[in-house]
């Protein structure tokens, strides 16, 4: 494989069970550099668990996780940390720390790793906040003083502040009105493009999936059952994916639920 053929993220046979419940049952997934992959799937299908395994927050039971062609599970703790330093994550609920002002939230990782002084962090936070359409003065507020849309912007600012080359977004528009959702999607696309990053997004929102993703994959019963262009969602020819994307009650997923 030449450099550009090497996936940024490559999962093979990823397995994870919690007790008797086999959540991931051999997940295979390739995300190419600079691409934006959206992961779809029903509630509890293992989307978040997949991302948490990649980030090392949950240990996988079996399989391989390669980043830039290197198996992260075979790396030393220090090497793995170096890889994870180049990733950013926007958590489902924002996961901002109310005890810290916004600017410290935005630069949390850079400060924790002593990659930046506190004085410089204030300026850096102002720069990154501007990238997500927020005024520098927001930096001095507590996250609890912000609206849901502003909190999402701050969470996005925090995810991109360390200029990662892989960014994970877990349901970035959940809880927002449709217009604010579209605004956040636009910011995500801009920020990812500006960084030249590879993005992986979990979403239930099909409009958002089409706006953010160039590729989409659907996870069902612990495996990836379809991967293709996000623009084709709803018209993929795969009955499972099309039922899910169109939000239809009738179809193969409903039949399985009734069994």
Ligand X SMILES: Nc1ncnc2c1ncn2[C@@H]1O[C@H](COP(=O)(O)OP(=O)(O)OP(=O)(O)O)[C@@H](O)[C@H]1O
Question: How far, rounded to the nearest angstrom, does the alpha carbon of residue 40 sit from its chain's CA centroid?
Answer: 12
What is the distance between the alpha carbons of residues 89 and 201, in angstroms, rounded to a whole number?
10
**What is the closest distance, in whole angstroms, from the C-beta atom of residue 196 to ligand X in the complex?**
27
User: Is the Cβ of residue 45 or residue 236 nearer to ligand X in the bound state?
Assistant: 45
What is the distance between the alpha carbons of residues 196 and 189, in angstroms, rounded to a whole number?
10
**What is the closest distance, in whole angstroms, from the C-beta atom of residue 20 to ligand X in the complex?**
11
Say if CB 189 and CB 209 are below 8 A apart: no
Say if CB 132 and CB 187 are below 8 A apart: yes
User: Is the Cβ of residue 44 or residue 196 nearer to ligand X in the bound state?
Assistant: 44
Say if CB 56 and CB 134 are below 8 A apart: no
SS3 21: strand
Interface pattern 37-66 for ligand X (x via CB under 6 A):
----x-xxxxxxx-----------------
Q: Which span sits near ligand X by CB under 6 A: 36-44, 63-71, 149-157, 161-169? A: 36-44
User: Is the Cβ of residue 92 or residue 131 nearer to ligand X in the bound state?
Assistant: 92
Nearest in space to 103 (alpha carbons), one of 86, 87, 119: 119
**What is the closest distance, in whole angstroms, from the C-beta atom of residue 42 to ligand X in the complex?**
7
Give the tokens for residue 166: 């892989």
- For position 93 contacting ligand X by CB under 6 A, the verdict is no
- For position 167 contacting ligand X by CB under 6 A, the verdict is no
**What is the closest distance, in whole angstroms, from the C-beta atom of residue 145 to ligand X in the complex?**
27
The conformation of residue 4, written as its DSSP 8-state character, comes to G
User: Is the Cβ of residue 57 or residue 82 nearer to ligand X in the bound state?
Assistant: 57
User: Is the Cβ of residue 7 or residue 46 nearer to ligand X in the bound state?
Assistant: 46
User: Is the Cβ of residue 49 or residue 218 nearer to ligand X in the bound state?
Assistant: 49
SS3 175: coil
What is the distance between the alpha carbons of residues 175 and 29, in angstroms, rounded to a whole number?
28
What is the distance between the alpha carbons of residues 215 and 97, in angstroms, rounded to a whole number?
32
**What is the closest distance, in whole angstroms, from the C-beta atom of residue 218 to ligand X in the complex?**
11
Chain residues that interact with ligand X, rule: CB under 6 A = 18, 23, 41, 43-49
């Amino acid at each position: 494989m030449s450099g550009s053929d090497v996936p940024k993220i490559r999962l093979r046979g990823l397995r994870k069970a919690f007790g008797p419940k086999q959540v991931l049952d051999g997940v295979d997934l390739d995300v190419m550099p600079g691409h934006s992959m959206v992961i779809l799937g029903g509630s509890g299908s293992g989307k978040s668990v997949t991302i948490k395994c990649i980030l090392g927050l949950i240990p996988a039971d079996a399989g391989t996780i390669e980043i830039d062609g290197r198996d992260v599970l075979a790396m030393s703790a220090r090497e793995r940390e170096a890889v994870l330093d180049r990733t950013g994550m926007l958590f489902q609920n924002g996961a901002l720390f109310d005890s810290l002002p916004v600017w410290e939230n935005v630069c949390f990782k850079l400060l924790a790793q002593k990659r930046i002084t506190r004085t410089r962090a204030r300026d850096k936070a102002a720069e990154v906040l501007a990238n997500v359409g927020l005024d520098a003065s927001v930096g001095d507020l507590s996250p609890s003083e912000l609206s849901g849309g502003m909190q999402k912007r701050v969470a996005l600012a925090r995810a991109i502040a360390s200029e990662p080359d892989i960014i994970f977004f877990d349901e970035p528009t959940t809880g927002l009105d449709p217009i604010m959702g579209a605004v956040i999607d636009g910011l995500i696309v801009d920020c990812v493009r500006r960084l030249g990053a590879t993005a992986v997004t979990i979403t239930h929102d099909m409009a958002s999936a089409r706006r953010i993703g160039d590729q989409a994959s659907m996870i069902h019963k612990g495996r990836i059952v379809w991967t293709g262009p996000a623009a084709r969602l709803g018209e993929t020819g795969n009955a499972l994916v099309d039922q899910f994307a169109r939000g239809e009650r009738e179809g193969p997923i409903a039949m399985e639920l009734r069994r």
